[in-house]
């Protein structure tokens, strides 16, 4: 690094793949590295503190800058004086929130491009995703960069990543800026906080025994160090002079380990390496999709009240059951990329790095039941599972009082609501007038915070409503085109269910559904394995019956033709 100090920027620099890129850039002494991320300050892991990154930060060959990509002034500050920008920042792909993904993947990327053009940055390498060419329906085998963007993506993350990628490619050549996009496929390796931890969580919860689909779908997994290497190759190709740079710029590239493997075999190797059992029970994807849709809708309703992001979503079911393999020929030809860590070696390093998650050394803390997880593991779960008897009995008494005072008399909905609000208003008024103590008993006053709707919660609710509205509008657009028969079937089925539920009186709902809720989840928690086994047997029988019926219909049809 003789002469003038050269700087590069890594956005999302504290992310999984970005950390490895930062270490590689520092180790190769190519640039001084500016690590840009959302956090107000950088918090290093113990091994980072003692290693390359910690030393570089102390010596001044690396620095940290807090930057929100949605704020252009912060982006300009982060990119000032940089020769190269590696744009790796992106929200968690498992959160299907269109507004969040659009604000970062599209608007944030626009801000990065504008900053690069304005500050005369020479090169911009954008971390895209293979999902930009995946529609969630058709598998991809040995796909190359000639694949077009689909009319409809699998989820909002993929759609907005495609928009961001298109913006980066279009900006190539503006004010001397050279750009390209890297599409790393299914990254794994040490430091991953999503894939391996989620597999271990599923294994400890007893969910890792299931295979979604037939289990034969092929995947390209990419060791994280190869992903970092791919970014370095891209930067070196853009920095070259003449035809090498011209051929590399303005293009997108798939990056993989070049060793396709069955997706569920990869999962099995990870789980076995950590001491857990292999998945073995196959569940057809069409059986899981309606359940996943129900879970997703439940999350949209309960997210403002603390429900965690579910693992079971329609987009994830499609990802787990489709093939996705890609060719690296173009990256090899134009960037000079070849994997530097073979798949088996990467797998060994990954398993070794998660030794603390092995089955034999797992904490003895009792795992949460499935019933608790389904109910959000919060106050609702504690109430319906009778974890807090006082809280549950209070909820039961309140519901009984509501029933006899507002539901049983047969009031209309408007009358019932208005009477309830009247009673509530009287109670709050009287409670407010009561003295602090009566006959030596302290009267706890309700704090104002109990009625306060925080700005954060308001924001979450607004985002949830907007996301639901946008999803509904997109669904209506697809329905109007008349091409999506699967969507029509889902809508028709949902409306039939709604009409059935609408025919049930409020009295019947209170008398049947609520008592069942207070009993069914407790029974399920105690007889979890038996009930799961029974449900699985029923599903398997249903699938077999469906297959037999279809086979008979086909054979009859063929007989008539002959």
Q: Which of 133, 118, 124 is nearest to 85 (CA)?
A: 124
User: Catalytic positions, please?
Assistant: 161
Three state DSSP letters for 192-251: CCCHHHHHHHHHHCCCCCEEECCCCCEECCEEHHHHHHHHHHHHHHHHCCCHHHHHHCCE
Those residues with Cβ within 8 angstroms of residue 191's Cβ, 6 or more apart along the chain or in another chain: 16, 19, 20, 224, 353
The confidence score (pLDDT) of residue 537 equals 67
The confidence score (pLDDT) of residue 541 equals 67
Say which residue the tokens 């309140």 belong to. Answer: 398
Count CB atoms within 10 A of the CB of residue 175. 11
Which of the residues in the chain have pLDDT under 50?
1-3, 362-365, 558-562
Domain limits of the chain? 7-367, 373-411+455-526
The confidence score (pLDDT) of residue 17 equals 96
Cα–Cα distance between 459 and 479 in angstroms, integer? 30
Cα–Cα distance between 124 and 178 in angstroms, integer? 6
pTM: 0.67
Cα three-residue angle 332-336-337, rounded to 5 degrees: 65
Say which residue the tokens 């904490």 belong to. Answer: 363
Cα three-residue angle 472-309-524, rounded to 5 degrees: 105
Q: Which of 200, 182, 311 is nearest to 248 (CA)?
A: 182
Cα–Cα distance between 352 and 226 in angstroms, integer? 18
Tens of pLDDT, residue by residue over 228-277, are 999 999 999 999 988 999 999 999 999 999 999 999 999 999 999 999 99
497: its two tokens: 């269910």
Residue 34 sits at φ, ψ, to 5 deg, of: -100, 115
Those residues with Cβ within 8 angstroms of residue 238's Cβ, 6 or more apart along the chain or in another chain: 122, 123, 125, 178, 179, 180, 245, 248, 249
Q: Could you name the CATH architecture of 7-367? A: 3-Layer(aba) Sandwich (3.40)
The confidence score (pLDDT) of residue 364 equals 42
Cα–Cα distance between 516 and 518 in angstroms, integer? 5
8: which strand partners?
33, 84
């Amino acid at each position: 690094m003789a002469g003038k100090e050269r700087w590069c920027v890594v956005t999302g620099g504290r992310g999984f793949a970005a950390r490895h890129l930062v270490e590689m850039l520092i180790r190769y002494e190519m640039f001084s590295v500016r690590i840009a991320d959302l956090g107000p300050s950088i918090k290093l892991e113990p091994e980072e503190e003692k290693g390359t990154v910690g030393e570089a930060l102390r010596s001044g060959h690396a620095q940290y800058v807090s930057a929100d990509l949605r704020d252009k002034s912060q982006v300009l500050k982060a990119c000032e004086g940089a020769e190269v920008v590696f744009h790796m920042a992106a929200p968690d792909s498992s959160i299907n929130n269109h507004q969040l993904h659009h604000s970062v993947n599209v608007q944030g990327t626009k801000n990065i491009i504008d900053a690069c053009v304005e500050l005369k940055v020479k090169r911009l390498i954008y971390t895209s995703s293979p999902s930009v060419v995946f529609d969630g329906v058709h598998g991809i085998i040995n796909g190359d960069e000639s694949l077009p963007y689909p009319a409809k993506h699998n989820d909002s993350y993929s759609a907005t990543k495609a928009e961001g990628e298109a913006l980066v490619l279009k900006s190539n050549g503006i004010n001397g800026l050279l750009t390209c996009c890297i599409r790393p496929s299914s990254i794994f390796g040490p430091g991953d906080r999503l894939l391996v931890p989620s597999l271990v969580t599923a294994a400890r919860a007893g969910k890792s025994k299931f295979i979604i689909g037939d289990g034969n779908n092929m995947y390209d997994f990419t060791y994280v160090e190869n992903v970092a290497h791919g970014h370095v190759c891209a930067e070196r190709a853009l920095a070259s002079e003449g035809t090498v740079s011209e051929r590399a710029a303005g293009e997108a590239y798939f990056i993989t380990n070049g060793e396709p493997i069955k997706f569920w075999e990869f999962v099995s190797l990870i789980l076995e390496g950590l001491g857990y059992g292999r998945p073995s029970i196959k569940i057809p994807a069409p059986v899981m999709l309606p359940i996943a849709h129900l879970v997703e809708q439940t999350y949209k309703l309960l997210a403002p009240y603390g429900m965690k992001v579910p693992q079971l979503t329609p987009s994830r079911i499609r990802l787990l059951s489709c093939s996705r393999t890609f060719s690296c020929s173009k990256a090899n030809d134009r960037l000079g990329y070849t994997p530097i860590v073979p798949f088996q070696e990467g797998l060994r390093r990954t398993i070794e790095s998660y030794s603390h998650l092995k089955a034999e050394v797992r904490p003895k803390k009792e795992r949460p039941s499935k019933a608790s997880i389904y109910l959000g593991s919060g106050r609702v779960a504690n109430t319906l599972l009778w974890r807090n008897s006082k809280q549950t009995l209070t909820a039961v008494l309140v519901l009984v009082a509501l029933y006899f005072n507002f539901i049983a008399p047969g009031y209309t909905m408007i009358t019932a609501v208005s009477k309830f609000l009247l009673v509530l208003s009287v109670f709050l008024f009287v409670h407010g007038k009561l003295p602090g103590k009566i006959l030596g008993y302290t009267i706890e006053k309700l704090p104002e915070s109990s009625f306060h709707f925080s700005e954060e919660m308001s924001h979450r609710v607004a985002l949830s409503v907007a996301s639901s509205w946008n999803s509904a509008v997109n669904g209506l657009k697809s329905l109007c085109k008349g091409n999506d028969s699967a969507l029509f079937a889902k809508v028709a089925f949902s409306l039939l269910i709604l009409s059935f539920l609408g025919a049930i009186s409020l009295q019947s709902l209170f008398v049947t559904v609520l008592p069942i809720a207070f009993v069914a989840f407790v029974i399920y928690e105690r007889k979890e394995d038996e009930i799961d086994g029974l449900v699985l047997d029923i599903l398997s029988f249903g699938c077999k019956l469906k297959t037999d019926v279809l086979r008979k219909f086909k054979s009859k049809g063929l007989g008539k033709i002959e």
